[in-house]
Amino acid sequence: MINQQSEKILNTQREKASGEGYKFSWFDWFCIWYPPGWLILFNRHWQHYHADPDGWNWLEYGLFLIPGGFYLALLMRWLRLGCRSPRTEVGEFNPKYQQAFREEVLGFIVKYYFRGELQQIDNLPQTGSMIVAMNHAGMCFPWDFLTLGYLLGTRGWVVQPLAGVSLFEHPWVIWWLPPKWSQVLGAVRAELGDFEKAIATNTQGKILLYAPEGLRGPLKGWRRRYHLQKFDVSFIQLSDRYHIPILPVVCIGSEALHPWTFNLKKLQRLFKLPFLPFSPLMLILLLFPSMGVWAMRSRLRYFIQPFEKDINSTKGRAAAYRQAQQLQEKLQLQLNHLLGKPTKR
C-alpha cells in the first residue's frame, strides 16, 4: 500500500516547484558529464521534491567538484548539523517519486551513457507478478539493476529491486544520498524476511528484481567475469510458496562498469562494506569520493529468457537447490553463447 503521507509530501513539493517537474539547468548538464557531479544531481533532484534541511547545500556541492573537496564538504555539513548524522524520517516506497526520478534523471543516463537495451522482448509477459532473476556484477553502484529497472519501467511496470543492506544503513550511504533514498525508490532489503514480505504483500502485479548470486556476483572480480557464481535457493523456494514465476535475464556489459578490479577483503571487513574494489579507478575515487555512485561507460544489453515453468513443483531444500543449480547452468550456457565462448562438454 502506498504511504499516503509520503504521497502528500511529494505532491506538495511538486506544487512548490511551480507545478512543474525537475528541469535540467546548465549545472545539471555539467554534473552529468563530470563524474563527481552525479551525486550532486541525485541530491538536487531529491531536494526539488522534498524539504530536506539536513541535505547538502550549494557551497558543499561546489567542493565536491575539486580534488579532496568532498572531505571538507563532509566536515562542514557535519558541523552545520550540530555534529550529528542527517535525519532519516522519510522511508516509504513512493511510486510517484520513482517515476519522477526515472523520467527526469535516470532516463538520460540509461539511454545515452549506459545505452541500455532489452533484447528478445518476445519473452516478456504482458503483465502479472514475477521475480526477475539477473546476473549481477560490476563491483560498483548497482547500475545494472537500475538500468534494467528503468527499461522495464518504460513498459508501465513498477519494479522493486532487492538491494544489499549497505545501501540502506551504511554510514557512507546515509551521508552520500538523501534520507532513505533506496526505500523511497522501491528497493527491498536483500534479506530473507524482507524478501518474503515483499512477495507476500500485494502479490498481484508484484515485480521484484533479484540477483540469485547475491554478493558473490560482484565479489568475483575481473578475472572471473561472466562466470556465474553459486545461486541462492531462497528465490526458488519463495517462487514455489507464493506461485510467482521466475523470469531469467542475462546481462552483457555489466562487468565493464568497474573493470580490472579485485576485492580488498581485509579492508572490506574493516569498513563493513559489501565489497571494496581496487583498480586504477580507486586512485581517482580517493580524490573524489562523490564518484562512488558513478561507473564507467558501458553498453548494457539484457537478454530476456523464457519463463521458468517447472519451478512450482519443488519439494524441500534439496529440490530447490537442484532447481537453482540447473538455472545457473542454463544461464551460464546462454552467457557463453552470447559472448562467443566455446561450450565445455
| Residue 80: predicted pLDDT | 96
Q: Which residues pair with 292 in a beta bridge?
A: none
Mean pLDDT over 62-88 rounds to 94
Task: Quickly state the pLDDT bin for 5 (edges 50, 70, 90).
Answer: very low
Q: Give domain status of residue 252, yes or no.
A: yes
pTM tops 0.85, yes or no: yes
In a domain, 108, yes or no: yes
CA 2 from centroid of its chain's CA atoms? 21
Q: What is the mean pLDDT of the chain?
A: 85
The total number of residues shown for the chain amounts to 345
CA distances for 49 relative to 45, 98, 116, 181, angstroms: 7, 11, 27, 12
Domain count of the chain? Answer: 1
CATH number of the domain at 79, please: 3.40.1130
On whether residue 345 sits in a domain, the answer given is no
- The burial class, CB within 10 Å (0-12 / 13-18 / 19+), for 108 is middle
Could you report the per-residue pLDDT of 192-207, keeping only the tens digit for each? 888 888 888 766 678 9
Produce one character per residue of 15-50: b if its CB has 16 or more CB atoms within 10 Å, e if not. eeeeeeebeeeeebeebbeebbbbbbbbbbbbbbbb
Residue 335: the pLDDT is 94
Task: Identify the burial level of 284 via C-beta atoms within 10 angstroms of its C-beta, where 0-12 means exposed, 13-18 middle and 19 or more buried.
Answer: middle
The partner residues of 255 in beta bridges, in order of sequence, read: none
Q: Which residue has the cell 573524489?
A: 288
- 3-state SS class at 275: coil
Transcribe 159-222 into DSSP letters: EEEEE-THHHH-HHHHHHSPTTHHHHTT-EESSHHHHHHHHHSS-TT-EEEE-TTTTHHHHT-G
* 342 within some domain: no
pLDDT at 2: 39
- C-alpha to C-alpha distance for 168 and 226, rounded to whole angstroms: 27
- Number of helices (H), then strands (E), belonging to the chain: the values are 17, 9
Task: Determine, yes or no, domain membership for 338.
Answer: no
CB atoms within 10 A of CB 340: 6
pLDDT tens digits, one per residue of 106-153: 999 999 999 999 999 999 988 788 999 999 987 778 899 999 999 999
Tracing cell 518474503 back to the chain, one arrives at: 196
Query: What residue numbers bound the domain in which 240 lies?
Result: 4-333
280: left (phi over 0), alpha (psi -120 to 50) or beta: alpha
Q: How confident is the model at residue 312 (pLDDT cuts 50, 70, 90)?
A: low
Residue 2, judged by CB atoms within 10 A of its CB (0-12, 13-18, 19+), counts as exposed
**31 in Cβ contact with 41 (< 8 Å):** yes
Is the distance from CB of 252 to CB of 331 less than 8 angstroms?
A: no
Residue 207 domain flag: yes
Is residue 259 one of the residues assigned to a domain? Answer: yes
Answer whether residue 309 is part of any domain: yes
Backbone angles phi, psi at 310, to 5 degrees: -105, 10
Please name which of 302, 254, 259 lies closest in space to residue 278, comparing C-alpha atoms: 259
Q: How confident is the model at residue 3 (pLDDT cuts 50, 70, 90)?
A: very low
